[in-house]
Amino acid sequence: MKFDRIVRFFDVQTWGALLLLSMVVGLLSGAAAVIFQALLHLLQEEAIGVALGADPGMSRYVLIVGLPVVGGLISGFLVFKFAPETEGHGTDSMIRAFHRLKGEIRARVPLLKAVASGVTIGFGGSAGKEGPIAQIGAGLGSILSEKLRLDSRWRRILLLAGAAAGVGAIFRTPLGGAIFAVEVLYRESDFEYEALVPCVFSSICAYAVFTYFYPNQEFLFIVTEGIRFQQNRELILYALLGILCAALGYLYVRIFYGSRDLIFRRMAVPVYFRPALGGLALGTLAIWLPEVLSGGYDIIQSAIDDKLGAVAGGNSSELPWHAFRLLFVLVIAKMLAVSLTISSGGSGGVFGPSLYIGAMIGGSFGYLVEAVSPGLIPETTRVSFILVGMGGFFAGVAKVPIASLIMVTEMTGSYGLIVPLMLTCAISFLLSRKWSLYEEQVPSQVDSPAHLGDFVVNILEDIRVKDVFAHEHRQFHSVHENTTLREISGLIQQSFQNNFPVLDNDDKLVGMISFDTIREVIHDEIVGRLVLAQEICETDFQKTSLTENLHQVLRKMTQQNIEVLPVVDSIDRNRMLGFLTRQDIMVSYDRKLNDLRDDAGLPVPAVEDEAIPFHEESVITDIKVLKHHVQLNNKQVRDVAFPHGSLLISIQRGKEHVIPNGLTQITENDRLMIVSNRHEAAELRRFLTTTPRTADGEE
């Protein structure tokens, strides 16, 4: 009995099972990372390694050009014949599976992705390991979920756990891998918080498995001791490096997708052969610059060890300029090489190449500073620029500033560079918000079908404000900007509104007053006589127009945590037309969804069979689900015996707003919004409160 109480207290039945499954996914992904790493090592040693090690001559050039072509042929056949979703850099496919496919990845994907990417990279393709191992790990999480018949919520979490495990293991970044998996889904500063802890557990397990088989190298890159942030004045240089990373990141994304859309997708050749043509162009480029082949991790290490600078040649005074030119040429060349490999349809990742480009940017920037102002920075700072450039560049192009700085410190052990990494990553991220390497990213959780329901976004985008803006929405009370707080108080007592538009002498909208903002001073007689509406109104507020769609409106409401938006004229944004509420959106969505079901010949869920008209006699009941509410807790909506004439229209789950249907699961701490006829509200309240209340009487 005591054990059962402990289980219930810590919610072990829910989280215990999820964390256990996350650890299983981590072990599987760790094993997959070991196999994938071994495959890459074997192919690189036997293929491109042989070509680069051959004596100069025609045979060496034939191998350098021919191997990427062969790799492209094999990869193109495997990808486009058996699993087109393995095309490209893998992480985008994982992101799409999370947002659009309910976390489902076909069982064949992990094996095909491993082979196709292994052949691409092993034969010299300019791609990395992050995308393939992320998709492989995500696929394993999805397959396990499918075998256990888990719901879409758990399947999505285990998909991310698999991706985190793969990335955390193969790059030796257990924390960075976990952060990467939950951060890379969104373009703005948002995370998939619910999956973070499972991702941490899975990443730890995968890291343990991987380092058991590869125990000799703690860090991916070896950095000499003493590499740390030393002087505050250097922050100016790191800020400039962040700006440079953002600018070159824009160029990288343009080249990457421009190559795909303007060149390879317009080729009048079968898709199977496009990766081979990309390989041919890559091999030709590699005759002059073999440094652009494969992932390039050894080239990054050479830059850290200052060996690339020595290759540049020249006397001591000319060396910085020569080194700057060489490293900057490698920046542009690697951008082209990655585009020729992946944009053509090849299979590989973009994280490794992005590290390469960022390292070369940082290195070239360091040599430029040294050339322009000799002695301004110590030699160790030039190495610091390489490491910080790696994080700053990927933070901008991938929209993962937190994961980038953590992964760079874990890969190099350079924890003394946290401060410049924070600055450079933040600047690069903020300046790069309009472009990304990952097309499937959505701005934030409110834009993800995983959080609004798989079809909610599309449905709401099809409904304009003008489609639901009726006569009653145009009936509202307003106040003049010179109205006193005392007069506003009297108006509040006569009105059902909680928000009042403030208009000037020309009836132009100048602000909004909310009852919540003036609640504390509304009964103060002195303040009431002296304070005017224009002095207390909000002038920076969200509003909508008749041409916007309901998804845009809902997003504004969610971002500001408000229930109502003023509607203004589409041309004259200061002419007030009326109000639109969150309830209006829910009602419109519900009607549209039912229309779509009718058109498709699908049954309407049982909870909506008793749908009632929405008019003045309708009332809203708001209740928080507690563990004692056995008639609601852990039940699907269709199984709840709501009284006749009641309709559940909305569920607030933490920061998430759920549009319910018959299969939606109601859980503890959900806040339900239920609409009912005014005459049936008492019966609904009795139904909702028949179980014991908490000590504080909260509902």
Which residue range forms the structural domain that includes residue 136? 11-213
Q: Are residues 326 and 442 in the same domain?
A: yes
- Integer-rounded Cα Rg, in Å, for the chain is 30
Segment 563-580 shows an average pLDDT of 86
Residues 278 and 421 in one domain: yes
Torsions phi, psi for 202 (to 5 deg): -65, -40
Mean pLDDT comparison of 121-130, 228-237, 359-368, 685-694, highest-scoring range: 359-368
CATH code for the domain of 498 = 3.10.580.10
The two three-digit tokens of residue 36, written as one number: 């994938």
Lowest mean pLDDT among 416-420, 613-617, 657-661, 667-671: 613-617
Q: Are residues 48 and 105 in the same domain?
A: yes
Coil, strand, or helix at residue 302?
A: helix
Is 397 in the same domain as 425? yes
Q: Tell me which amino acid residue 248 is.
A: L
Lowest mean pLDDT among 95-109, 401-415, 556-570: 556-570
Number of domains in the chain: 4
pLDDT of residue 535: 84
The gap from C-alpha 389 to its chain's centroid, in whole angstroms, comes to 22
Residue 162 in domain: yes
- Judgement on whether residues 568 and 621 belong to the same structural domain of the protein: no
Q: What is the number of alpha carbons within 13 Å of residue 358 lying toward its C-beta?
A: 32
* pLDDT value, residue 14: 64
Q: pTM higher than 0.85 for the full model?
A: no
* Alpha-carbon gap, residue 400 to 91, rounded angstroms: 13
**Average pLDDT, integer, range 125-133:** 89
Top-confidence range, 64-68, 86-90, 638-642: 64-68
> What CATH number is associated with residue 613?
3.30.70.1450
Which tokens in the block code for residue 133? 């191992």
The CATH number for 134's domain is 1.10.3080.10
468 and 438 in one domain?
no
> Where does residue 432 rank: exposed (0-12), middle (13-18), buried (19+ CB within 10 A)?
buried
Instruction: Quick: pLDDT tens for 248-293.
Output: 999 999 999 999 999 998 898 998 899 999 999 999 999 999 889 9
pLDDT at residue 617 tops 60? no
Instruction: Please determine, for residue 614, whether its predicted confidence score (pLDDT) is greater than 60.
Output: no
Residues 535 and 672 in one domain: no
Q: Report the pLDDT averaged over residues 583-598.
A: 72
Point out the domain boundary residue: 585, 611, 636.
585
Instruction: Please check whether residues 274 and 302 belong to one and the same domain.
Output: yes
What pLDDT does 7 receive? 53
Tens-digit pLDDT profile for residues 133-186: 999 999 999 999 999 888 888 899 999 999 999 999 999 999 999 999 999 999
**Residue 620 pLDDT > 50, yes or no?**
yes
pLDDT digits (tens, 9 = 90+) for 667-694: 888 888 777 665 566 677 777 765 434 3
Domain ends where: 153, 178, 213?
213
From 447, 468, 492, the end of a domain falls on 447
pLDDT of residue 694: 38
Average pLDDT, the chain: 83
Nearest 5°: CA angle at 454, between 448 and 458?
A: 80
Handedness of CA 602, 606, 608, 612 (dihedral sign): positive
Q: Does 198 lie in the same domain as 338? A: no
pLDDT digits (tens, 9 = 90+) for 646-665: 777 778 777 666 767 666 78
Residue 257 shares a structural domain with residue 127: no
Residue 342 pLDDT more than 50? yes
Mean pLDDT of 320-346: 92
Helix ranges (DSSP H) in 544-612: 550-560, 582-600
